[in-house]
Structure 1
Amino acid sequence: MGEIFSTFIRRESSFSHTWTALELLLVALTCTLLTWYLQFLWSRRKLYECSRKLPGPFAFPLVGSALHFIGSPYDIFSNIMKMYNQYPGIFRVWFGPRLFYAVSDPKYYEILLPHCLAKERWYKYSEAAIGHGLFAAPLDKWKRHRKIIMPTFSQKILDGFVEIFSEQSEILVEQMRKFAGEGEFDIFDIMSKCTLDIICETAMGVKVNTQTSADTSLSTCIDRILENIFLRAFVIWYHYDAIFNLTARSKAYKASLKTLHDFSGSVVRQRKRLFDESRKANKLYFEEDSRKKTFLDHLIEITSQGNQFTERELRDEVDTFIIAGSDTTASTNSYVFLMLGLHKDLQEKVYEEIIEVVGPSRPVEREDLVKLKYMDRFIKETLRLFPVAGVIVRAIEEDVDLGDHLIPGGTSVIFGILRTHTNEKYWPEPFKFDPDRFLPEEVAKRHPCTYLPFSYGPRNCLGIKYAMMAMKTLLATVLRKFKVSTSYGSIQDIKLKANLVLRPTDGYKVSLELRQ
């Protein structure tokens, strides 16, 4: 009995000693983590001090206000706009452990956008699609590439594209005839095919004939790519590849990327091969008229002269222009059709101007475009209410003094473009559609940063003129043939979601009627 009791005591003593060791280990780990966390907080004390000076949504430990960015692209964008309405001017948002400032006052844009040129690291989620093309390139690469690419957007070169704009718009007319009198449909699908054909022919010298083909894979995959880039940026658990790659969304995304990259890669290889063959045969690859030189041709020629673009860099820029040049223009054109359908009286004014300037049947010419002044204002008013991007984001690398607030380096700024465009402080009756807001005398009254559909400062959109010329040519061609209607009752009925580019949640619903 005594031996049994002694054995029991020894076992109890041994167990007690083991448990004490585990406790000590846990205490040591806890102290280490607590020490690290306190050091982490202390190193960021400047951020917390600056953050306390501004209002903003409640932030939980670790995740911050990230719970506001859960749900569909509509839910996420709706919550963003609610924040801008609740906190006018400037506010702060903690996204996980990262501090963002959100601004919508033009005076802040004027200070920040010309000087804060580094893209926010959220844009890294676009790299799988467009690599380091102009849209998402690091600052040093962006400066070099933009300087090289800029000459391809000279007015002389753009004027040479009007014939292509017109030819592809005539093909669009024939596609639209199939829908005339057939009830309401989403116009974005046929519009995106047209703009894809335009960008491929003008920027890359390749005819893809998407409008007349039954294959819709390329235009469809672009929309899917944009949505996934947006969700990866704003849904915090999608930041982790290991999690995102487990989702069904990831599989569809990768398939879309393959479609895009297979196409752009084949285009780059084809144009480079033609260029190399011409040089070997001692022939001119380009016509002497430089207006025939496409964007891609220019880059290939520059590369041959020693200002080296790798094949990957060429493909990145091609991918960027395919997405930026086709999808954004198609989206804006589709919104223009919605506004024409909502405002029949203004639609007639646009139509009358087209007939007066271009006539009922001849092709649109470059000299016509500058004369379409009311159409120009109509497009600009559409872009006010439906800018391509509702928000843009920039990184702040060094402290920036805004006068009434200090934004510390190491943070980021979200620019609420749509909020600024619909703020009654700058735009009386903001949801009234009025193209005459863009009469020269009205524009002169406003701060230049109250209207930023193409951003502002050195990193603004490079293709502003290209886009406006392409849109005006298309609209002048199409609106001579069709009247446009929509079942939307008002601008406020068009609920928006974001996938980098703003989209209506219920689609671009229009119906067409042939003009007599």
Structure 2
Amino acid sequence: MDYLKKSSSISVSTIFKLSLILLCLLLVVVYFWKKRWLYYYSSILPGPFSLPFLGTVRVAFAGQKNIFPLFENLVKTCPLVWRVWIGNQLYVVTSRPNDIDKLLNNFLSKENILLYDFNEENLSSLFTSRVSVWKIHRKMINPSFNQQIINSFTGIFVKYANVLNEGFEQNCGKGSVDVLTMVWRCTLDTLFETLANVDPKLLRKGNDKFVCMILRYERLLTERFFNVIYHFTFFWKLSVLHKEVTQIVNDMFDHIKQLIDLHMKTKFSSIDSSSVIDAEVCNNNDNLKEKAFLNHLLTKELTAKEVLEETTFMFMAGSETTALTISSVLLVLSIYPEIQETIYEEQCSIFADIDKDATLDDINQMNYLERVIKETMRFLPPAPYLARDIEETTELNSHVYPAGSAALIPVWYVHKYPEFWPNPLKFDPDRFLPEEIEKRPRAAYLPFSYGYRNCIGLKYGMMSMKAILSTILRRFKIKPGKYKSIEEIEVEFHFVGKSKDGYKVAVEKRGN
């Protein structure tokens, strides 16, 4: 009798285990069946070896520090269109400008792209939001970045550039210094006053703490991206890193809430005309005031959370990308003194008094400086990769981009492809003369993204960079620090692309 009970017990246990195994197998079969077309199209595209769930083996075990060199090698050795699996997500990598043009104009979604999706979990914004939300918010925010409003910020750009120069003067003759922190403080302070009409000195914790939060947040998100286990929300939420990300986001929100509170106290004050050098742009001050970013956002039918998220990300992304580009220009000019002198000659031709603050008219004449900025972004784009969901299977030039995959665009490689950029490793600002631009496909240059979902702040960014660099370069010479050639600059991926060893240059004051 005992034997029969034991036998019955074993039988039930065995049946349960077998049922569990069969259920797991069924779920796996269903999972792969749903993705069968992805696996089919993946099989006919070239690319490195991949395993189910884990993805491309070399990528899965590369780690954050090694991922950019690994991808750099893959992009250079693979055809112009190839595929890579990151976890269970298929990416079709393309470097063909004509394909890029069609993909970025036809597909706007970023919902299923892991790194964007991870950011969206914490901080929804124009950058990552669903297309339906993006269209509404983009339409709302667009008026805040029209050219007339940006022109009115000239004096504020110059004001904080002069503050930045004080920091540069303190470092004259002290050897190489990493300028990124100083420049980032400048670009963030500028954003606070231009887009929110708030003096950054009024913030209790200061913007240096905010910059540290941004850096740590980016590092944690990229760490999650390159750890396949953390792709699963269940395991991610159990991790210590998730708790840290949550705390950082809350701290960033607190900082921006403080900004919004300060803004509300001065909501009905006009733009400070003493900060705006060109009087003609102040003729319609009331209209400009109402359309300024935060004022404008607060008048729209947005929830408090939506305003907070859009404002937080605007200050994060806008300050960092501008600071990275300015720092990159200074790094490049330290390597190419002849180009630096050509900029100085242009400045001398514009300014009768080289120490005079720049006006809007002055900035609009800085054509060579603008070409140098553009050529720097060709070499060192702040966003080295772009990605979009492929929502329906698309065939372009005999290559299929399957629905359910994502298009991954290696911007840095497109910017150096010899067919569109002759002698691509030569730093040549004249590539951006109008007649040279006409020779290239439109999507061969992508520093501000491309298509309908491009960077909303591209005009703001260019104007501020020209004003700040002009103010620096008329007073200082930039000398080599860490790097002696542009080929030595190694890039690391931390949500954006950054010089691995920083932005170290030496600063020397120009003689009168």
2:180 aligned to which of 188, 205, 221: 188
Alignment of 1:435 with 2:433, yes or no, is no
Cα deviations by residue, 1:340-366 (Å, 9 ceiling, x for unpaired): 001011111111111211341110111
SS at match of 1:119: coil
Instruction: Check 1:213–1:87 CA distance in 2 against 1; reply closer, same or farther (3 A cut).
Output: same
Shift of 1:288: 4.2
Instruction: Give 1:160's aligned residue.
Output: 152
Instruction: Give 2:295's aligned residue.
Output: 297
SS at match of 2:90: strand
TM-score by length of 2: 0.90
- Where do residues 264-413 of structure 1 align in structure 2 (5 Å cutoff)? 264-272=256-264, 274-275=266-267, 288-293=285-290, 294-300=292-298, 302-303=299-300, 308-358=301-351, 359-413=353-407
SS at match of 1:216: helix
Tell me if structure 2 keeps the 8 A contact 1:340–1:347: yes
1:43 aligned to which of 15, 34, 42: 34
Instruction: Check 1:211–1:366 CA distance in 2 against 1; reply closer, same or farther (3 A cut).
Output: farther
Gaps of 5+ in 1: 1-9, 279-285
TM-score by length of 1: 0.89
Greater C-alpha Rg: 1
Instruction: Give 1:451's aligned residue.
Output: 445
Number of matched pairs: 494
Residue 167 of structure 1 aligns to which amino acid in structure 2? K
- Where do residues 109-128 of structure 1 align in structure 2 (5 Å cutoff)? 109-121=100-112, 122=114, 123-127=116-120
Shift of 1:273: 5.4
| CA–CA separation in structure 2 for the residues paired with 1:322 and 1:73 | 25
Alignment of 1:33 with 2:27, yes or no, is no
Moved more, 327-336 or 315-324: 315-324
Shift of 1:437: 1.1
Residue 170 of structure 1 aligns to which amino acid in structure 2? N
Shift of 1:234: 3.5
Shift of 1:118: 0.6
Cα deviations by residue, 1:6-34 (Å, 9 ceiling, x for unpaired): xxxx6566545544443333333333333
Instruction: Check 1:396–1:360 CA distance in 2 against 1; reply closer, same or farther (3 A cut).
Output: same
Residue 489 of structure 2 aligns to which amino acid in structure 1? I
Residue 297 of structure 2 aligns to which amino acid in structure 1? L
Tell me if structure 2 keeps the 8 A contact 1:106–1:447: yes
SS at match of 1:268: helix
| CA–CA separation in structure 2 for the residues paired with 1:174 and 1:212 | 23
| CA–CA separation in structure 2 for the residues paired with 1:141 and 1:215 | 29
Instruction: Check 1:288–1:165 CA distance in 2 against 1; reply closer, same or farther (3 A cut).
Output: closer
Instruction: Check 1:150–1:220 CA distance in 2 against 1; reply closer, same or farther (3 A cut).
Output: same
| CA–CA separation in structure 2 for the residues paired with 1:450 and 1:322 | 28
SS at match of 1:114: helix
Alignment of 1:500 with 2:481, yes or no, is no
| CA–CA separation in structure 2 for the residues paired with 1:102 and 1:39 | 27
Identity of matched residues, %: 33
Alignment of 1:476 with 2:474, yes or no, is no
Moved more, 37-46 or 488-497: 37-46
Instruction: Check 1:214–1:99 CA distance in 2 against 1; reply closer, same or farther (3 A cut).
Output: closer
Tell me if structure 1 keeps the 8 A contact 2:387–2:409: yes
Shift of 1:244: 4.2
Alignment of 1:200 with 2:192, yes or no, is yes
Tell me if structure 1 keeps the 8 A contact 2:64–2:226: no
Instruction: Check 1:72–1:175 CA distance in 2 against 1; reply closer, same or farther (3 A cut).
Output: farther
SS at match of 2:105: coil
Instruction: Give 2:280's aligned residue.
Output: none
Alignment of 1:515 with 2:510, yes or no, is yes
| CA–CA separation in structure 2 for the residues paired with 1:189 and 1:210 | 20
